Homo-oligomer: A and B are copies of this chain.
Amino acid sequence: MIEHIIIGLTIHEPLTGYDIKKKIETGIGNFVKASHGSLYPALKKLTGKGFLTMEELPQGNRIKKYYQATEAGKEAFLEWLTSPVDPNAVTLNVLSKVFFFNDLPDDQRQQLIQTYELHIQQILDAYKKMEQELTMTKEEEKDYYGTSTLYYGLQATQGMLRWLKYIKGQKPLTEFIKEED
Are B151 and A163 in contact, CB atoms less than 8 angstroms apart? yes
Kindly identify, within residues 129 to 159 of chain A, every residue whose CB is under 8 Å from any CB belonging to chain B. 131, 135, 140, 143-156, 158-159
- Report the count of interface residues on A (CB-CB < 8 A): 44
B159 touches A147 (CB 8 A): no
**In the assembly, what is the distance between CA of A131 and CA of B173, in Å?**
10
Residues of B within 8 A of A28 (CB): 146, 149
- Residues of B near A127 (CB, < 8 A) are 30
By the criterion CB–CB under 8 Å, are A151 and B180 in contact? no
User: Which residues of chain B come closer than 8 Å to A140, judged between CB atoms?
Assistant: 172-174
Given known A-B contacts A28-B149, A98-B145, A155 and B177 have beta carbons under 8 A apart: yes
| Interface of chain A, main secondary structure | helix
Nearest B residue to A123, CB-CB: B30
A155 to B180, CA, bound (A): 12
Copies, count: 2
Q: Which of A40-48, A53-61, A67-75, A99-107 has 4 or more CB atoms under 8 Å from chain B?
A: A99-107
Q: If A88-B33, A159-B156, A163-B152 touch, does A146 touch B177 (CB 8 Å cutoff)?
A: no
Contacts of A176 in B (CB 8 A): 151, 154-155
CB-CB under 8 A for A159 and B149, given A88-B33, A140-B174, A173-B140? no
Are A156 and B156 in contact, with the CB atoms below 8 A?
A: yes
Specify which chain B residues have a CB less than 8 angstroms from the CB of A5 in the assembled complex.
none
Q: Add 5 more A-B contacts to A99-B149, A151-B163, A155-B177 (CB < 8 A).
A: A98-B149, A102-B144, A151-B176, A152-B159, A152-B163
